[in-house]
Amino acid sequence: MSAGNLTLSLLVGVLFAGGSYLLLQRSLLRVVLGFALWGHAANLVLLVAGGPAGHAPVAGETTPEAAADPLPEAMAVTAVVITLAVTALLLALADRSVTLRGDDDVPDAVEDALAGGDDRGSMEETR
Amino acid sequence: MSTTTLLSVPVVLPLIGAALSLVLSPRPAVQRVLGLAVLTAVLLDAVWLLLRVDAADRLVLHAGGHAPPLGITLVADRFSALALLVAVVVCLAVMLYAIGQGSAEKRIENVPSVFHPTYLVLLAGIALVLLTGDLFTLFVGFEVMLMASYVLTTLGPTVERVRAGMIYVSTSLTATILLLTTIGLVYALTGTVNLAQLADAVQQLPAGLREFLGLILLTVLGIKAAMVPLHWWLPDSYPAAPAPVTAVFAALLTKVAVYAIVRTQTLLFPRDEPWVLLLVLAAVTMLVGVLGALVQDDLNRVLSFTLVSHIGFMLFGLAMSSVAGLTGTILYFVHHITVQSALFLVAGLAERRRASTALSELGGLARSAPVVAVLFLVPALSIGGIPPLAGFIGKLGLLQAAVGGASAGVLVVAAVALVTSLLTLAAMGRVWLMAFWGESPREEPDGGSGTTTATRRASGLMTTAAALAVTAGVALAAAAGPLSAYAGRAADDLVDREGYRAAVLGEGAAP
């Protein structure tokens, strides 16, 4: 197994740390940005997993030994598409939340706060 | 065309159907027929797969003729074929229910209905996870399934659904990215993502690394399976979706993740001894889930918490690391898919009568809607483990395995499982007391002569669909003998890692 790229590995750590901080925020927009950082981190992990850089893996142009490993790159492309689609969906949700409630904060559950008490009246008040 | 081509039908046909359905969205009637036709075809295919697999152990398809690790491998063994069949039956019942409810055709702000295309995509994703033979395709299958589920959860976005959608999508996306990172790590360590090759390659790794991979795979799939302490998102997001959507989610999405946990752990990280960590997690999952169910005031939230609780039973069977334990897991798996969908569909029927799912606002349903009451009672008793229903058979399988293993830790968890069964029965009894007995707190909004014939007919189809789901659960109990024998053979297959490897890698691309 080849020695990993230290810079990329450290970058993965930084991206995961920054993303985690953003994920813990109330505003959905920040959460989306956090997921964007996480998505990049995961793709870099796939890139590092593919080993050292090489030539473009096109049959007839390079030998298999000199070519970069194409499999993790194919995976990364799939992952990019998925992250893009979910990000778009989350942004749409944030937009809908602003339309309906005026902000894009993730609200608390009313039921959790009231679990155990059967006082329906107070629940209506909280709502 | 070789016979194994039929392996791809449960994935490919719903996707083609979804594309057609989207084009046909101006014609809801055609969409309905198309959806039902696709589901029926996949159902026939699933029956055929089950019969074939029971005769031939495993069926393997290398898509496009590419040998592993390059191509996509589809593998059906007894467990996946059974899971697929039950999943398609539930999907069919839920689709009938959705058509009955009319939610399927509801247009929102002039956007054509996307229910049918999305629903078919959901089925394709589920089938892909169940049939895949490599880790990355497993990930893709999960994503296909989850993308469809995001759309279904937020269909017709109200304040409540947007909130549920935020929590559900964020949690699922977290699990997704972590799963992707895990796959990257697996590839970096072993150089393959094909499960059959990994079965061997993972054993070559140092023990610490192997343990680490096993644990992160359990964690990321545990989020999707709602394993305590990673369950928090489920009771917060499922109840907000429309009743048929909640039913299919509760029945299938978490179970598909349980399937993935069972598949990866048995194939990649085989154990001879009971797995103490998973035993503890299983016990905690059972207790936390059922205690949550006992205090909720909303019928759908009660059912969501029992769902979490009973994930613990399936993990318990896996944690025993024995063929008998896995047999119990498979029996429980099948039972739980049918019973959860039936319960949520019946909850939808109750909601339609009273326009509420709050227990304190139901009440007196047994008198005003005796059919709904009976349809609720049967799965409720089944999930509580009352013989001779299917829940009893699953629990019996697990407890027999636990006693047969005779390890102290396993016996403690078996005791927890018994307590959980009793508490589940108590939770169901509480629902029965509050929602079905007693006085109706208010007049039914659509009761009496005010009901139009159109609404009544739609409700008839809904009741029929719910009855179909309930009947599927009863049929499992009726077929307990053959089913247990089949589950035993399926568990043997799960432990037989060499057989899996030989089937996928050995016979290769032979037509």
Q: Which residue type does B104 have? A: A
Determine which of B163, B167, B168, B359 to mutate to test the interface with A (most A C-beta atoms within 10 Å). Answer: B163
Question: A28: closest CA among A85, A87, A79?
Answer: A87
Q: Which residue has the higher pLDDT, B111 or B274?
A: B274
- Report whether pLDDT(B78) > 80: yes
The predicted-structure confidence for B9-43, as pLDDT tens digits, reads as follows 999 999 999 999 999 888 888 888 999 999 999 99
The reply to whether residue A111 touches residue B295, judged by beta carbons under 8 angstroms, is no
* Residues near B391 by beta carbon (within 8 Å), at least 6 away in sequence: B335, B339, B381, B382, B383, B384, B385
* Residues near A46 by beta carbon (within 8 Å), at least 6 away in sequence: A72, A73, A75, A76, A79, B180, B183, B184, B187
What pLDDT score does B445 carry? 52
- Report whether pLDDT(A44) > 70: yes
Residues of chain A contacting residue B184, judged by C-beta atoms under 8 Å apart: 42, 45-46, 48-49, 72, 75
Question: B258: closest CA among B197, B184, B336, B194?
Answer: B336
CB-closest option in B163, B170, B183 to A31: B170
DSSP class of residue B3?
G
φ, ψ of residue A81 in degrees (nearest 5): -60, -45
Residues of chain B contacting residue A85, judged by C-beta atoms under 8 Å apart: 147
The reply to whether residue B169 touches residue A90, judged by beta carbons under 8 angstroms, is yes
Q: Which residue type does B335 have? A: H
The reply to whether residue B69 touches residue A101, judged by beta carbons under 8 angstroms, is no
| Whether the bond into B235 is cis, omega within 30 of 0 | no
- Degrees to nearest 5, angle at CA B344 with B424 and B287: 25
Cα(A73)–Cα(B510) distance, integer angstroms: 29
Beta bridge partners of B59: B76
What pLDDT score does B106 carry? 55
Cα(B40)–Cα(B360) distance, integer angstroms: 40
What pLDDT score does B420 carry? 95
ipTM: 0.86
End-to-end CA distance of chain A: 58
- Is A125's Cβ below 8 Å from some Cβ in B? no
Structure token digits, residue B401: 């395995």
> How close does chain A come to B305, measured CA to CA in Å?
12
* Residues near B288 by beta carbon (within 8 Å), at least 6 away in sequence: B228, B229, B231, B308, B309
H-state helical runs in B269-369? 276-295, 299-319, 323-354, 365-368
Contact B438, B364 (CB under 8 A): yes
Cα(B263)–Cα(B142) distance, integer angstroms: 14
H-state helical runs in B57-114? 78-101
Q: Could you count the other beta carbons within 10 Å of the beta carbon of residue A43?
A: 24
Give the confidence band of B451 by pLDDT, cuts at 50, 70, 90. very low
What pLDDT score does A4 carry? 61
- Is A25's Cβ below 8 Å from some Cβ in B? no
Mean pLDDT for B381-386 is: 90
* Residues near B382 by beta carbon (within 8 Å), at least 6 away in sequence: B335, B339, B389, B390, B391, B392, B473, B477
Share of chain B above pLDDT 70, in %: 93
Mean pLDDT for A37-64 is: 85
Cα(A45)–Cα(B171) distance, integer angstroms: 21
φ, ψ of residue B233 in degrees (nearest 5): -75, -25
Helix (H, G, I), strand (E, B) or coil at B493: helix
Residue A1 in any domain: the answer is no
Contact B240, B164 (CB under 8 A): yes
The predicted-structure confidence for B404-427, as pLDDT tens digits, reads as follows 877 888 999 999 999 999 999 999
Cα(B5)–Cα(B15) distance, integer angstroms: 16
Question: B318: closest CA among B225, B384, B389, B247?
Answer: B225
Q: Could you count the other beta carbons within 10 Å of the beta carbon of residue B507?
A: 11
- Report whether pLDDT(B493) > 70: yes
Residues of chain B contacting residue A35, judged by C-beta atoms under 8 Å apart: 170, 173-174, 177
Please state, in angstroms and as integers, the Cα–Cα distance from residue A46 to each residue in B209, B211, B294, following that order: 18, 21, 44
The reply to whether residue A96 touches residue B162, judged by beta carbons under 8 angstroms, is yes
- Report whether pLDDT(B490) > 70: yes
Compare all CA atoms of chain B with the CA of A41 and give the residue at the minimum distance: B181
CB-closest option in A23, A93, A114 to B154: A93
Residue B61's Cβ-count burial label (10 Å; 0-12, 13-18, 19+) is: buried
The reply to whether residue A106 touches residue B296, judged by beta carbons under 8 angstroms, is no
> How close does chain A come to B355, measured CA to CA in Å?
16
The reply to whether residue B173 touches residue A78, judged by beta carbons under 8 angstroms, is no
Give the confidence band of B449 by pLDDT, cuts at 50, 70, 90. very low
| Angle, in degrees to the nearest 10, between helices B370-384 and B408-431 | 170
Residue ranges per domain, chain B?
272-442+451-478
Q: Which residue has the higher pLDDT, A3 or B55?
A: B55
The reply to whether residue A90 touches residue B170, judged by beta carbons under 8 angstroms, is yes
Residue A11 in any domain: the answer is yes
> How close does chain A come to B412, measured CA to CA in Å?
28
Question: B171: closest CA among B290, B263, B253, B259?
Answer: B253
Give the confidence band of B160 by pLDDT, cuts at 50, 70, 90. confident
Beta bridge partners of B15: none
- Is A22's Cβ below 8 Å from some Cβ in B? no
The reply to whether residue B296 touches residue A118, judged by beta carbons under 8 angstroms, is no
H-state helical runs in B226-273? 234-237, 243-248, 254-268
Please state, in angstroms and as integers, the Cα–Cα distance from residue B94 to each residue in B87, B319, B391, following that order: 11, 32, 21
> How close does chain B come to A80, measured CA to CA in Å?
11
Structure token digits, residue B416: 């927890």
Structure token digits, residue B123: 């089925």
- Is A32's Cβ below 8 Å from some Cβ in B? no
Helix (H, G, I), strand (E, B) or coil at B298: strand
Sign of CA dihedral A81, A85, A91, A95: positive
Compare all CA atoms of chain A with the CA of B361 and give the residue at the minimum distance: A120
Give the confidence band of B5 by pLDDT, cuts at 50, 70, 90. confident
**Chains A–B, number of C-beta pairs less than 8 Å apart:** 112
Cα(B430)–Cα(B352) distance, integer angstroms: 21
> How close does chain A come to B276, measured CA to CA in Å?
30
Q: How many domains does chain A have?
A: 1
Residue A84 in any domain: the answer is yes
- Report whether pLDDT(B2) > 50: yes
Residues of chain A contacting residue B296, judged by C-beta atoms under 8 Å apart: 111, 115
Q: Which of residues 208-237 of B touch A (CB under 8 A)?
A: 236
- Is B187's Cβ below 8 Å from some Cβ in A? yes
Determine which of B173, B182, B213 to mutate to test the interface with A (most A C-beta atoms within 10 Å). Answer: B173
Cα(B353)–Cα(B158) distance, integer angstroms: 21
- Which of A27-41, B51-65, B294-308, B348-362 is predicted with the least confidence, judged by mean pLDDT? B348-362
- Is B150's Cβ below 8 Å from some Cβ in A? yes
**Residue A31 belongs to domain spanning:** 6-126
Cα(B9)–Cα(B171) distance, integer angstroms: 31
Mean pLDDT for A22-49 is: 92
- Is A78's Cβ below 8 Å from some Cβ in B? yes
Residue A36's Cβ-count burial label (10 Å; 0-12, 13-18, 19+) is: middle
CB-closest option in B166, B177, B295 to A39: B177
Structure token digits, residue B216: 């992160």
Cα(B18)–Cα(B113) distance, integer angstroms: 12
The reply to whether residue B360 touches residue A48, judged by beta carbons under 8 angstroms, is no
The reply to whether residue A96 touches residue B177, judged by beta carbons under 8 angstroms, is no
What pLDDT score does B457 carry? 55
Q: Which of residues 39-58 of A touch B (CB under 8 A)?
A: 39, 41-42, 45-46, 48-50
Determine which of A25, A44, A45 to mutate to test the interface with B (most B C-beta atoms within 10 Å). Answer: A45
Residues of chain B contacting residue A109, judged by C-beta atoms under 8 Å apart: 163, 236
CATH of the domain at A114: 1.10.287
The reply to whether residue A93 touches residue B360, judged by beta carbons under 8 angstroms, is no
Residues of chain A contacting residue B158, judged by C-beta atoms under 8 Å apart: 100
What pLDDT score does A57 carry? 79
- Report whether pLDDT(B338) > 60: yes
Question: B170: closest CA among A44, A100, A105, A102?
Answer: A105
Contact B90, B472 (CB under 8 A): yes
